[in-house]
Structure 1
Amino acid sequence: MLTGLAIRNVVLIEQLILTFESGLTVLTGETGAGKSILLDALGLALGARSESGLVRSGASLAVVTAEFSLPEDHPALALLAEQGLQTGQNLILRRQVGSDGRSRAFVNDQPISIGLLRQLGDLLVEIEGQFEAHGLLDVATHRGHLDRFAALENHVARTRGAFAAWRKAKQEHAEAAALTDKARSEEEYLRHAVAELDLAAPKPGEEAELAAERARLSNREQALEALNGAISDLSGDRGTERSLASALRRLQRIQDKLGSEGESAVAALDRASIELTEGVASLQRLIASIDADPQRLEKLEERIYLLRDLARKHRTTPDGLSELHEELKKQLASLENQGGDIAKLREAEQKAREAYVAAAESLCKGRSRAIKFLEAAVRDELPPLKLERARFTVQLEKLDEPRWGEEGWDQISFVVSTNPGAPPAPIEQVASGGELARFMLALTVVLAGGQAAETLIFDEVDTGISGATATAVGERLKRLSEHFQMLVITHSPQVAALADQHWSVAKETFRNNAITTVTALDKRQRREEIARLLAGTTITDEARAAADKLLADAK
């Protein structure tokens, strides 16, 4: 609920600090005293449109701060959490408006957008009796109010889940169909590319191996000369191989006379002879491979150029050709299977749609049944509020399929006709200020408990009424104060007498400057204010006695 309101430099208000309680709070005062300015100031803190004209003359900045105490599960806290803003259960909204019209908003001293401030305001406070689409006047809220009145939350949840499943199935079908269409449009390219890569048969790391071999073959003559020279040095008439064999034979003849040291030496030379023989054989094989295919270098060049050309063509690297080849083969193979997959996805989408239709149809029937009860309940509230000639109607319209949503396919709107034979229309279009506020009061009484906002404000709900009608208005406001924090601007003594907290709004002049003041009235002051509301400018003893009776009856 709203616990505090601080206002500085807003029109006639120089500085005010107000503390609110639960229950019914009324504000009374002479016309023009500034009661509407209080609402304008609170509206700023709730995200209403700002104007430089709201800044008090001579001031550079108007500031309004509204403080709320909220339960842990309040949707305003969930909204802030979604925005990454962490707050406690005490919520402080602050709005600054400069004399140049520029505006800034804060929540618990964290800067936020005016749009977010407005969203928070709609969840915290509902102002009735204003000629703007707000609260129950906003047709976008009517479906939710009807659902809460009829206790259809579970039906709505099932419909929301069915809609999400249908939307997911539809998206999966659409994405698969789009991929298939794209693949089919590229089928000729895929077949050509796969055939080309099939023929080339690239292997990972092949280019590096070919390049190394090409580098070796590019120096063929020099390599052969070096290899033949090495073999000559190792195996010729004076080569190492022959010398090593001769030395080994000499030592083997006297090996038994050389002891252990000699045996180790003979063994080492024997190993060296074997390694040398194998090395010579390797060199001979290498010479043979270089000489085996005189056109090998040309073939290597052609293969390297082919791999690099394919890599450029497919925008990859030669080493990436093998992986690309496999991927393209998979895409081509999937074309033959996608027809069956698309059929399955189409069937899944159709089943999901049918499930949504069933849930939405059930929800629609529940709403249709609830409408007559809501209309009857509001109809019973209208005569005591001097609206006996008015007719309240709930219109239900089935939307076209493109407009179906997670809460079904029903468009719900509350409409009224204030005179017999007049066509029904939105409430704010056919009701005067006082009628509008009383219509909102009737609706709020019937729909009590369905609003997210815990604070309700009624602006001059008693305009143009008196006597029994004013008493009926007061009784309903008092009844609502059991569920909501109620703030009521009133000229009715019957309403004022029922208040738990009573403030008087007045306009005073200091140093030729008009200033709006707000005073919390004690028991004696309340009696005088209610007597003033009864008698006018001159308060009589009879008016005081009538005020005493109203206060006594209110207990």
Structure 2
Amino acid sequence: MLISLTVRNLAVVEDLALTFEPGMTSLTGETGAGKSMLVDALSLVLGDRADSNMIRHGAERAEIEADFNLDNNTTLAKWLQENELDEDEQCHLRRTISRDGRSKGYINGRAVPLALLKEVSERSIDIHGQHAHQSLIRPQTQREILDIVADNKALLNNLKTAYRDWSASQQELELLQSQAEEQKAKQELLQYQVSELESFQLTQTHIQDLLQQQSQLANASQLISVAEAGLHRIFDEEQAAAYDIINHTLSELEKLQDLEPRFASAVETLNAAIINLDETANDLRHYLDHIDLDPARLNAIEDELSQLHDIARKHHVEVEQLPALYEELSTELERLSNSEVHLAELQKVLSNKEANCLALSREIHEKRVKTAKPLAKQISASIKQLAIPSGEIDIEVVANSDEKFSEHGMDSVRILVRTNPGQPSGELAKVASGGELARISLAIQVVTAGKRTVPTLIFDEVDVGIGGSVAEVVGQHLRKLATTQQVICITHLPQVAAQAHHQLQVNKKHLDDSTHIVVDKLDRQQRIEEIARMLGGVNLTQKTRSHAEEMLDQAQQ
């Protein structure tokens, strides 16, 4: 339930604080006094789009606050808890609008995105604007009205989630199917390329060995010549062999190291050199004994390398990059080979998701059909009381013949009306006049309001275009609603205002060259005066006041 509304520097409102009570409250005042401005303020604090032009002249920021009682609103209390916005069993909303265009929202003192304010709105309040009947001719609105009464919200939320999931899988499947031919050609090419590469031993080690062997065999004569020359210089050269020269020097130093101890280091180094020369000579002999000079082997290696170079050029890579290319092509081929399996799996998943959406759509359809006739009967009874004595409402629910579904189900929902005896039922836009449409809309709002889970209902001049006994009936309907929900009604009709449990009067005052809105809570005598004004205009008579008092007394019975 709405407890309070505070508005600062919004349009002509400078500083206004209102409190609200259970039951029905009417807001009345002269035309143009600013009654609807309070609804605008409430819409803003509940997340509606803001404009810096709304800020009062001379102020830098507008601010709106609203408090809601959570005692009978477990839905909102649970939502606040789930979003970690709960605070001592209260719901305090605050919205600021700055001159620079920035807008901020707060829930229980915590800054939140405006989308969260809208979520509070969905769980706390319904606002029926004075032009609500204009949207009634839309199929979407007619379907939503039926779903509210059928209590389809949870099912529709589940269907919305399931439908989006199904739609995403459907798009994925269509993409895979459209790519199937292209992938088939690509798969055939990859299969050929991989098979071609598989005929080679494509490892990094093998290719490096081939390149090394080819280089060695191609330069074998030079390698042998250098090895033989080296061995000759170390051992075989007369009088100039390195081994003999070093060994002779070592022998002479060893003879004299007793006389010169400092020769010991040189002796040690030369001993090591002798050992190293001996090992080097053995390595060169082993190399010369085992070097392969087989021309056939060289031809085979060069032939294999030639093929590898050819295939590398075909793929625009170096020979050394062929192993990595083979791995890449093999992986892609495996992926494409598995795409057919993935396609079959996706078709199975999609079929299950479609079955889920169909099951939800059928359940929603059944509830709509079950609800349509009783709801039409209720609305028909209500519009008869609203000066359409021959009015009859039918609600048509037709499932698509092919069970094609959307996130809203698989039904076409139409509200049909007959306003005169003997006429067939027809679409609202074609059969009902503007005035009749307004009254039908009001009847629907009154009938369905009790089915809504929100604790507060606001009616903003929805009674435009009616009067007399019809207006009294409207007031009675709203008062009856107020036994289960808080009803706030902005009205210009005395018959409606008199039915309220509480009455607030909105006045526009001009002070110091500026305009201010003042809202007063009226006691009984003040209500009589206000209702008399609404009945009789400027010059009030005792008879008008007596009539106003009688209306108040009758409403309280």
TM-score for the superposition, normalised by structure 2: 0.71
**Secondary structure in 2 matching 1:407:** coil
1:411 is the counterpart of 2:418 = no
**Which residue matches 2:530?**
529
Going from structure 1 to structure 2, the CA distance change for 1:178 and 1:232 (only over 3 Å counts) comes to: farther
**Which residue matches 1:263?**
none
Going from structure 1 to structure 2, the CA distance change for 1:314 and 1:470 (only over 3 Å counts) comes to: farther
**Which residue matches 2:255?**
none
**Which residue matches 2:372?**
371
Q: Distance in 2 between matches of 1:325 and 1:14?
A: 73
**Which residue matches 2:104?**
106
Q: Distance in 1 between matches of 2:211 and 2:328?
A: 21
**Which residue matches 2:552?**
550
**Which residue matches 2:180?**
180
Q: Distance in 1 between matches of 2:49 and 2:431?
A: 22
**Which residue matches 1:147?**
147
**Preserved contact between residue 3 and residue 67 of structure 1 (Cα < 8 Å):** yes
Going from structure 1 to structure 2, the CA distance change for 1:51 and 1:323 (only over 3 Å counts) comes to: closer
Residues 431-450 of structure 1: matches in 2 within 5 Å?
432=434, 438-450=439-451
Residues 62-461 of structure 1: matches in 2 within 5 Å?
63-69=62-68, 73-74=75-76, 90=91, 92-94=93-95, 96=97, 98=99, 103-108=101-106, 110=111, 112=113, 125-131=125-131, 139-152=139-152, 163=163, 167=167, 170-171=170-171, 173-211=173-211, 220=220, 223-225=223-225, 227-228=227-228, 280=282, 284=286, 288-293=290-295, 295=298, 298=302, 302=306, 305-306=309-310, 308-309=312-313, 312=316, 317-327=321-331, 330=334, 338=340, 346=347, 349=350, 353=354, 356-357=357-358, 360-361=361-362, 363-398=364-399, 404-416=405-417, 418=419, 421=423, 424-426=426-428, 430=432, 432=434, 438-451=439-452, 453-461=454-462
**Secondary structure in 2 matching 1:529:** helix
Offset at residue 107 of structure 1 (A): 1.5
**Which residue matches 2:542?**
540
**Preserved contact between residue 364 and residue 408 of structure 1 (Cα < 8 Å):** yes
**Secondary structure in 2 matching 1:291:** coil
Going from structure 1 to structure 2, the CA distance change for 1:227 and 1:132 (only over 3 Å counts) comes to: farther
| Bigger mean CA deviation after superposition, 22-31 or 208-217 | 208-217
Q: Distance in 1 between matches of 2:551 and 2:24?
A: 19
**Which residue matches 1:258?**
none
Q: Distance in 1 between matches of 2:455 and 2:544?
A: 39
Offset at residue 130 of structure 1 (A): 2.4
**Preserved contact between residue 358 and residue 403 of structure 2 (Cα < 8 Å):** no
**Preserved contact between residue 190 and residue 329 of structure 2 (Cα < 8 Å):** no
Which amino acid in 2 is paired with 1:393?
D
**Preserved contact between residue 10 and residue 54 of structure 1 (Cα < 8 Å):** yes
Q: Distance in 2 between matches of 1:320 and 1:91?
A: 64
Q: Distance in 2 between matches of 1:428 and 1:410?
A: 21
Which amino acid in 2 is paired with 1:107?
G
Offset at residue 120 of structure 1 (A): 6.6
**Preserved contact between residue 207 and residue 304 of structure 1 (Cα < 8 Å):** no
1:33 is the counterpart of 2:37 = no
**Preserved contact between residue 224 and residue 287 of structure 1 (Cα < 8 Å):** no
**Preserved contact between residue 419 and residue 431 of structure 2 (Cα < 8 Å):** no
Going from structure 1 to structure 2, the CA distance change for 1:384 and 1:203 (only over 3 Å counts) comes to: same
**Which residue matches 2:253?**
none
Which amino acid in 2 is paired with 1:12?
V
Q: Distance in 1 between matches of 2:544 and 2:23?
A: 29
Q: Distance in 1 between matches of 2:137 and 2:101?
A: 26
Offset at residue 504 of structure 1 (A): 0.7
Q: Distance in 2 between matches of 1:419 and 1:49?
A: 42
**Preserved contact between residue 126 and residue 456 of structure 2 (Cα < 8 Å):** yes
Which amino acid in 1 is paired with 2:549?
A
Offset at residue 326 of structure 1 (A): 3.0
Offset at residue 280 of structure 1 (A): 4.0
Offset at residue 74 of structure 1 (A): 3.7
Which amino acid in 1 is paired with 2:66?
E
Going from structure 1 to structure 2, the CA distance change for 1:209 and 1:498 (only over 3 Å counts) comes to: farther
Offset at residue 371 of structure 1 (A): 1.2
Offset at residue 331 of structure 1 (A): 5.7
Offset at residue 77 of structure 1 (A): 5.5
Offset at residue 409 of structure 1 (A): 1.2
**Preserved contact between residue 75 and residue 123 of structure 2 (Cα < 8 Å):** no
Going from structure 1 to structure 2, the CA distance change for 1:40 and 1:169 (only over 3 Å counts) comes to: closer
**Which residue matches 2:486?**
485
Q: Deviations over 1:22-69 (max 9, x none)?
A: 43221112233222333344444456566777555x436562524253
**Preserved contact between residue 378 and residue 443 of structure 1 (Cα < 8 Å):** yes
Q: Distance in 1 between matches of 2:206 and 2:388?
A: 92
Going from structure 1 to structure 2, the CA distance change for 1:95 and 1:334 (only over 3 Å counts) comes to: closer
Going from structure 1 to structure 2, the CA distance change for 1:313 and 1:3 (only over 3 Å counts) comes to: farther
Q: Distance in 2 between matches of 1:400 and 1:523?
A: 60
**Which residue matches 2:503?**
502
TM-score for the superposition, normalised by structure 1: 0.72
**Preserved contact between residue 211 and residue 304 of structure 1 (Cα < 8 Å):** no
**Preserved contact between residue 55 and residue 97 of structure 2 (Cα < 8 Å):** no
Q: Distance in 1 between matches of 2:438 and 2:230?
A: 112
Q: Distance in 2 between matches of 1:538 and 1:26?
A: 21
**Secondary structure in 2 matching 1:386:** coil
Offset at residue 488 of structure 1 (A): 0.5
RMSD over aligned Cα atoms: 5.0
Q: Deviations over 1:189-211 (max 9, x none)?
A: 22431232123341244444445
Going from structure 1 to structure 2, the CA distance change for 1:38 and 1:448 (only over 3 Å counts) comes to: closer
Going from structure 1 to structure 2, the CA distance change for 1:133 and 1:289 (only over 3 Å counts) comes to: farther
Q: Deviations over 1:486-533 (max 9, x none)?
A: 210123444334434321111222234443211122444334434444
Which amino acid in 1 is paired with 2:193?
A
Q: Structure 2, unaligned stretches of length 5 or more?
A: 248-274
Q: Distance in 2 between matches of 1:221 and 1:86?
A: 88
Going from structure 1 to structure 2, the CA distance change for 1:453 and 1:522 (only over 3 Å counts) comes to: same
Number of residue-to-residue matches in the alignment: 515
Which amino acid in 1 is paired with 2:375?
L
Q: Deviations over 1:66-87 (max 9, x none)?
A: 4253657449968x96xxx978
Which amino acid in 1 is paired with 2:182?
K
